[in-house]
Structure 1
Amino acid sequence: MTMPDGPSGARPSTRRRLAAALALAALVAAAALVVLALLTDPLAMVAGVLLVVLAVLAGWTALVRRGARRAVAAVVAVAALLSTVGVLLLAGSVLRLVAVVVLVPLATAAARVAIGRDLAPEPSAARAVGPARSGVLLMNPRSGGGKVGRYDLMGAARRIGVRPVLLRPGDDLRALAEQAVAGGADVLGMAGGDGSQALVADVAHRHGVAFVCVPAGTRNHFALDLGLDRADVPAALDAFGAAVERRIDLALVGDRVFVNNASLGAYAAVVRSEAYREAKLATAAAMLPDLLGPDARRPDLRFTGPGGELRHTSDVLLVSNGAYRLSRLNGFGTRERIDGGRLGVVAVTVDRARDLTTLLAAEAGGRLDGFRGYRAWTVPEFEVRSADPLLDVAVDGETLQLPPPLRFRSLPGALRVRTPVDAPGAAPAAAAPAGVRDGVTALFRVLRGRPAR
């Protein structure tokens, strides 16, 4: 998969201008259908909205309560959803609803083609480099449900002259990476999840050798923000050949390197559960009453906020290697860049008396940054203190218990990373507008024959 045509800043092609026209037309049509529905049958639309709100409230209650209250709330949520469908059927609004459901994704897809890479910042100090002289690829065969074997990465590495090293039960991944460098490797790659990527990237950074990320894990957030195509795992091996190299940041908590984020509070507690790996949603639903319910104990997390004020708690605290553009807590979004020398910090604090339903609505609508308890800022260093002897911390998806204070800092430009010449090259947060208003403005610019930025 490649990004739409046209380098950033170039005059948009006819194809992109037509895509901009299609995206704007689809957005206008979808908005018109919604307005028409309100005008022709306002009572049905109001009833539908109220039923959806009831379903959201009841659904959240079912998540954060236990016992009979959870069962009753779940029944109410299902009944409200079924009633919503019934109201739409009686009002004859199904076709309009289907049309809107079709038009919105159409507008999104056309907008992506139209805007292309115009909004993506140019990576700092990117340069073309030749093939690796002695490349080594470390591989975790258990990551991502067995992607290493499924894509025959061992055979693919050998065919391009890269030495594969398979991680076996009981092996020390850091020791294998150190041995590879000691054996003369000038490019060190890792095929596995983000925790493994961070460990091997740390070894590459300490020895000054280049690093290649192969997205063979489950979610591969690091690969996404490097601008790799996560769906084409073998294509990442092309970075061992003629490639693009740039410097990116790493981050530290204590003396442990991470490439994505470290999270504390409710999310870290869920990830720490032994059942989380096998049943993420079910585990979260089972634990939420104890984490965000009205009787839940708040984590003791003390830190300095964006205005220099001392904060005494937060239900979710995320410290990241570069600032995330967050729409929801699940998945943690993407970053525009990871070469700015800054940590991103996000704190979400819930007033259990009035904020739970608002948080759920913001999460469901992809507007987490509009929630009143949401704060985001950037710093070069960050410290978390606590009276608790140990804090649950999820570092790149792996759970740890660390004694406070936790000291985080950015390592600007610490890692030389190589990516294939024909990789997409930009994270979704870098290539996409920040909101609807910015998106419409960008589309009008492209339609007039100008770059989106």
Structure 2
Amino acid sequence: MIRRLHRSRWRVGRFDAELVRRSGELPPTRFDDLCRRVGHAADHSKLWFAIAAVLIARKGATRRAGLRGIAAISGASVSASLVGKRLFPRRRPAAELLPEPRRLVRRPTSSSFPSGHAASAFAFAAAVTMEHRGAGALVTPLAALVGYSRVHTGVHWPSDVAAGAAIGVAAARATRHWWPHGTGLPQQSEPPVEAPELESGEGLLILVNPASGDEDVDPSEQIRALWPKAELIRLEPDTDAVAEFALRAAAGDLRAVGAAGGDGTVTCVAEVAVRHGLPLLVVPAGTLDHFARDLGIDGPVDSAAAAGAGAAVRVDVARVSLERRGGDPRRLQFINTASLGGYPEMVRLREKLETRWPKWLAAALAMVTALRSAQPMPVMIDGRRRLVWMLFVGNGSYEPKGFGAARRASLATGLLDVRYLRADLPYSRARFVAAALTGTLRTSHVYRHFESPRVEVRLLGGPRRIATDGEVGPLGRRFTFQLDPGALSVYRLPPP
């Protein structure tokens, strides 16, 4: 066995030496300078962080691609530089093997195996490709150039680069353990339903929220171009546009209603659509657009294609009834999620942080802060006494499990997704964080999850505020969550 390993190592070394020799025999060209510049730009992953910043600046799949790329680089750097180089020390190629003009002025002194540059490059390229194939097609050739540049400038053997590339791809795939990739979800299975064709927008009323998403982008102009005959009502400050929209929808002469904004705007219009039995047109114009994303609508063009073809599906709607001491019960509708405990506090903190930080970063900081300052909440869940930090209820089955719920494979499951974090165990918050980081939440004692068409939650302490679809709602003591299967018709093209 040992003899075979030595023989394999000798063959690899011979192959490496032959490739480096042939590379050294290449005539001098401008390509030499390009390799040096690209390799220098990739030092400490500066090149990839710059590209990630550009991707993150745009919402949607490009933002997810940039964030997944950064996560993959972190894993690849640790695996290659802190683990691989220490376990497998190897001398770098001799400088004399290459012409002097091609050599780097400052040659690295760490182990040659594996290539950290190649690991980071292919980790970033593979992770970006998972989320956005177009961006991946642009980044992958650049990653390959960075990998080859390490051989061309004589600081790595070819097998170092191959090993680094393998580590990088593995690191990108490993991000799915904590952040599942949307394309791995089953195909959507919502039942189709007939809806009016809205090629020009005649009979269509759209509520437009210009404050959603990017502050400098107003979707009204694009909406008028796509549906010139549609009627628009804009959510302006100091106006009750939602009430005006509801009154106009009650007139009875509309064929459909639409929402151009984030999930909060969609929730308002969805309630009107269900009340009057009208199909809903979703035009994603917010920051995250969870509902539109789970529908498979990436932008206004997708919305226009579905509306023009009259293609729609039936999806579930979730409702929660609030009972307050000395007050009448109040009913709220939500299309994504509802929660109690630390989550509403996180929403309020996120709104404050958004004035200084990007929304995605503000949300992450707010989550950590809310969990650290959360107070235990004694509750009765379906008649069973529990002490929890926070409780999450989703309209449909969400992935991944845990409190980082992100995607739904279907919007017509007929079930609520209920999760809570126990507060009656020692170091429960620290154990929750450790389980989330290691991907072991499903087996953790501090995390509980079940699915049901109805769940009742009664607070044993003081009243708490509920958050629905990211908006902080009223105070309540008893909350009854239930599902209304297929209550909403939404425009969406059938999956290919």
The answer to whether the 8 A contact 1:134-1:162 is kept is: yes
Q: Can you list the C-alpha shifts for 1:160-202, whole angstroms capped at 9, x where unaligned?
A: x322222211232432322332262211000111122111111
Q: Distance in 2 between matches of 1:94 and 1:209?
A: 60
Q: Which of 341, 364, 370 is 1:281 aligned to? A: 364
TM-score (norm: length of structure 2) = 0.58
Q: Provide the residue aligned with 2:483 in structure 1.
A: 410
Q: Which of 152, 177, 186 is 2:255 aligned to? A: 186
Sort the Cα spacing of 1:118 and 1:84 in 2 relative to 1 into closer, same or farther, 3 A. Answer: closer
Q: Distance in 1 between matches of 2:482 and 2:79?
A: 51
**Percent pairwise identity:** 30
1:21-420 equivalences under 5 Å are: 85-92=81-88, 94-95=114-115, 96=163, 98-103=165-170, 105=172, 119-120=186-187, 122-127=189-194, 130-131=197-198, 133-146=202-215, 149=218, 152-159=221-228, 161-181=229-249, 182=251, 184-229=253-298, 232-254=299-321, 255-273=331-349, 274-278=351-355, 279-291=362-374, 297-304=375-382, 310-330=384-404, 332-350=405-423, 353-420=426-493
Q: CA deviation at 1:151?
A: 7.8
Q: Distance in 2 between matches of 1:143 and 1:207?
A: 25
Q: Can you list the C-alpha shifts for 1:45-87, whole angstroms capped at 9, x where unaligned?
A: xxxxxxxxxxxxxxxxxxxxxxxxxxxxxxxxxxxx9999545
Runs (5+) with no aligned partner, structure 2: 1-76, 89-112, 116-162, 177-181, 322-330, 356-361
Q: CA deviation at 1:249?
A: 1.3
Figure out how many residues of one structure are paired with residues of the other and give that number: 326
Sort the Cα spacing of 1:286 and 1:357 in 2 relative to 1 into closer, same or farther, 3 A. Answer: closer
The answer to whether the 8 A contact 2:425-2:446 is kept is: no
Q: One-letter code of the match for 2:345?
A: A
Q: Can you list the C-alpha shifts for 1:390-412, whole angstroms capped at 9, x where unaligned?
A: 21322100112422111212112
Sort the Cα spacing of 1:394 and 1:239 in 2 relative to 1 into closer, same or farther, 3 A. Answer: same
The answer to whether the 8 A contact 2:208-2:220 is kept is: no
Q: Can you list the C-alpha shifts for 1:25-51, whole angstroms capped at 9, x where unaligned?
A: xxxxxxxxxxxxxxxxxxxxxxxxxxx
Equivalent position SS for 1:168: coil
Equivalent position SS for 2:492: strand
Q: CA deviation at 1:414?
A: 1.1
The answer to whether the 8 A contact 1:261-1:321 is kept is: yes
The answer to whether the 8 A contact 1:272-1:392 is kept is: no
Q: Relative to structure 2, which stretch is displaced further, 126-135 or 83-92?
A: 83-92
Q: Can you list the C-alpha shifts for 1:107-142, whole angstroms capped at 9, x where unaligned?
A: 999xxxxx9899425322445753364112211000
Q: Distance in 2 between matches of 1:90 and 1:401?
A: 57
Sort the Cα spacing of 1:158 and 1:377 in 2 relative to 1 into closer, same or farther, 3 A. Answer: same
Q: Distance in 2 between matches of 1:284 and 1:107?
A: 23
Q: Relative to structure 2, which stretch is displaced further, 126-135 or 316-325?
A: 126-135
The answer to whether the 8 A contact 1:322-1:341 is kept is: yes
The answer to whether the 8 A contact 2:402-2:419 is kept is: no
Q: One-letter code of the match for 1:269?
A: E
Equivalent position SS for 2:346: helix
Q: One-letter code of the match for 2:389?
A: D
Sort the Cα spacing of 1:275 and 1:343 in 2 relative to 1 into closer, same or farther, 3 A. Answer: same
Runs (5+) with no aligned partner, structure 1: 1-80, 110-114, 292-296, 426-453
Sort the Cα spacing of 1:82 and 1:237 in 2 relative to 1 into closer, same or farther, 3 A. Answer: closer
The structure with more radius of gyration: 2
Q: Can you list the C-alpha shifts for 1:255-282, whole angstroms capped at 9, x where unaligned?
A: 1111001011222222133524443333
Structure number with greater CO (CA < 8 Å, separation at least 6) is: 1
